[in-house]
Amino acid sequence: MLTFRRALVAAGFLITMLFLISRTHTTKPYQEPLPPKDATEVQQSVKDEGQTKTGYAPTTPVSTSSSAKVAPAVAEKRPQPGQQLLQDLSRAPLKDRLAYQFPYDVESKFPAYIWQTWKYTPASGDFGESFRPAEASWSEKHPGFIHEVITDQVAVHLLRHLYASVPEVLEAYNSLPLPVLKADFFRYLILLARGGIYSDIDTHAIKSAADWLPDSVPREAIGLVVGIEADPDREDWAQWYSRRIQFCQWTIQAKPGHPVLRDVVANITLRTLQKKKDGSLKSFQDKNVIEFTGPAVWTDAIFDYMNDEKYFDMNTGSGNITWRDFTGMTAPKKVGDVVVLPITSFSPGVGQMGAGDYDDPMAFVMHEFEGTWKPESERHIGEETAS
């Protein structure tokens, strides 16, 4: 028979065992993500050719530049068991804090967001009638996507929410003296934080984003999709464009946290605050927009990324990736986790630089250039930078 003394001993033994078991299964605290993998650690090939991972059904074939080095898709390391506790990041470089706040995962799906900006929302009677067909085309081609037209006032509050932990970014945005500068900056900021598709209010979706990438490229290997804006194959190109190959920034598709977006946001922030400090921001001239926030700085950030040894194996290929790897292209090209679309994709019907017409199989987005006739200082947040 079980005596009272034996019952006490048994209960004590059971409590001791439960305590020991719980001590050996302590929950690990949240740890800080490590920086991006070195290129030697992330080299991988495109796999599962012909399969899609997001429900998209693209049909266009892909080509690869013969002179460009084959670059790996990039994913940043996730926290591992046994890492140290989160350290104070307040003194860390801005790029590191942005990387922590908006981690990048190349294997995630492209978010089903469409972001546009304008003075008014489509629900307002003041929304321009000339913009309605173009704005509606994005919802028609992308059923199931969240489609937002962000006004100036909403943009301020949205960024205050998204970038509360990185106050210098907010200070830089609020300090920009021209609406067109804020328009450029906003597209990078919203894509870095939330991902999806940004496109100017005067663009018309010809095809769904499901058709932008070919079947041979799995979505789990791509984090950024850009198009060529300008490919001026002429001796006097510098009189008309800022770069020999210029990447378009009126339409961009990205996964949140992509390193190119992180770098361009950090660069614009630091340059803005420096100009504010030395007093040169107030005298900012319209002609400098392209270099400061527009397609020039965007193009430079993309090329810098493609030639960064942190992300790519610099021992492969025949040298740095330059404009020569993209001039005259008529099909998509993949460099690491970036797909570059030909000029026809986002600039059909321009009648120059090899661009096809609106009915070309590679025509995805039509840009109506509604804002290009205005002086830069009169542009609104939803209007693109003129080239």
Considering only residues 331 and 386, tell me which one the structure prediction assigns the higher pLDDT. Answer: 331
Contact status, residue 184 vs residue 385, Cβ threshold 8 Å: yes
What is the identity of the amino acid at 268?
Answer: I
Looking at the DSSP bridge assignments, the partners of residue 113 are 146
Q: Is residue 56 a part of any domain in this protein?
A: yes
Q: Is residue 346 a part of any domain in this protein?
A: yes
Q: What is the mean pLDDT of the chain?
A: 79
Q: Region 1-29: what's the mean pLDDT? A: 50
Q: Is residue 344 a part of any domain in this protein?
A: yes
* DSSP alpha helix (H) spans, 122-240: 132-141, 152-162, 167-175, 179-194
Instruction: State pLDDT tens for residues 206-242.
Output: 999 999 999 889 899 999 999 999 999 888 898 888 9
Residue 100, domain CATH:
3.90.550
Task: State both tokens at 345.
Answer: 């994709």
* DSSP alpha helix (H) spans, 307-377: 343-346
Q: Is residue 12 a part of any domain in this protein?
A: no
pLDDT band, very low/low/confident/very high, at 67 (cuts 50, 70, 90): very low
Residue 66 pLDDT greater than 50, yes or no: no
| Beta-carbon count within 10 A of 276 CB | 16
Instruction: Give the E-state strand segments of the chain in sequence order.
Output: 113-117, 146-150, 196-199, 203-205, 224-230, 246-247, 251-254, 333-335, 338-341, 365-367
Domain enclosing residue 190, as ranges: 30-37+51-378
Q: How far apart are CA 321 and CA 299, in angstroms?
A: 12
Q: Is residue 333 a part of any domain in this protein?
A: yes
Contact status, residue 111 vs residue 196, Cβ threshold 8 Å: yes
Q: Is residue 61 a part of any domain in this protein?
A: yes
Q: Region 146-167: what's the mean pLDDT? A: 96
Q: Is residue 57 a part of any domain in this protein?
A: yes
Q: How many domains, the chain? A: 1
Least confident of 16-20, 129-133, 201-205, 303-307: 16-20
Q: Is residue 6 a part of any domain in this protein?
A: no
Tracing tokens 């509360």 back to the chain, one arrives at 164
